Amino acid sequence: MIGIISAFGAAISWTYACFIWRSQTEKYKSIDINLVKNVIAFLIFLPAFININVLTDLKTLLILLLSGVVGIGLGDTFYIKSLQVIGTRRTLSIETLSPLLAALSGELFINENLALRSYIGIVIISISLFILLRQRTNHLVNNLTNITEENNLKIFIFPLLSVLCAVLGGLLSRIVFLERDLSPFQTTEIRLLGAIIFLITIKNFRVNFFLKRLDKNAQKRFLLSIFLGTNLGILLQQIVFKTLPLGIGWTLLSTSPVISLFFATKEEGKITKGIIFFTTLLFLGLCLIIL
C-alpha cells in the first residue's frame, strides 16, 4: 500500500512542479534549470549522505550514480526541454509510454512478468494517447516558430528520450533495491549527485544560478517546485521502486496526464469533452494494468 500511495504522491508533486519549471523555460535553458534544481535538492537532502557505509559498496554506488546520470541528468533535461516545446499535458501524455517500456524492461532484465490484462491496458493507453496527441493545438517554440499538427513530429523526440532515460534510470534503481536494503533517502541523494556531476561537467563547471535574478515570489515558487518535484518526487519514486515491480510502479507514476487536467486550462486553453473522455479512458487502462 505504501508503494501505491507513494506513486500517486509522486505523480501529484511532479505534475505541479513541472508547470512551474515550464514557466522558467521561456527565459533559461533546460540544462540550467535541471542543474540548479538538482544542486538545491542535493543540499536539502545532504544529511542523508552522512551514512558512509553505503559508499563502501563500489558496485552499488556506481549503479546509483549511473541511474542519476541517465534518469535525472539526461532524463529531466529532455523532460524540461519537452515542456518548453510542446507543453505540459502533452509531455505528460507521452510519458505514459513508460509503463510499456518499464514492464518489458522488468520482464527482460529482472524477471518481473507482465500479465495479459496488462497488455490490454497498455493497448487502451496507447490508443487514448494517440488520440490525445491528435488534438489540434498550436505551440510556440523558442518564441519564434509555430509548431502545428503538420510539422510537429520531430519535436516529440525530446519527451521520447525523456521516457527512455527515465525508465532506464528506474530499472537501475530497482536492481539496486533488489540486491541491497538501502534507504530511499540515500539512493535519492546518490542519484542526485550523479546527475550533478554529469551536468556540471557538460557545462564546463559553470553554473548559471539564475535563481538570484528572479523576484521573491518567483523564487518561492521555484524553491517549492524543487522540493515537490525533485526532493519529494524522487524520494517517493524511490519508495515505489523499492516496494513495487517496475511495470506496476511506472504505471501508477504515469497518472500525471489525468492530474494535469486540473492545471492545463492555464496553459492550453479550454479542456474539451474529447480530451476529458480519452484521458479518462487512459486512466482506466492504467487501472486495468494494476488490478
Which range, 82-96, 100-114, 138-152, 232-246, is most confident? Answer: 232-246
For the ranges 84-88, 225-229, 250-254, the lowest mean pLDDT is seen at 84-88
- Cell readout for 138 is 498550436
**What's the farthest any 2 CA atoms get from each other in the chain?**
55
SS3 30: helix
Query: pTM for the complete prediction?
Result: 0.82
Domain housing 10: 2-290
Question: What's the whole-number average pLDDT of the chain?
Answer: 80
Reported as a single tens digit per residue, the pLDDT across 101-118 is 888 899 899 988 877 887
Phi, psi dihedrals of residue 29, rounded to the nearest 5°: -70, 150
Domains held by the chain: number: 1
**Kindly report the CA angle at 93 between 99 and 276, in degrees rounded to 5?**
115
Phi, psi dihedrals of residue 232, rounded to the nearest 5°: -65, -40
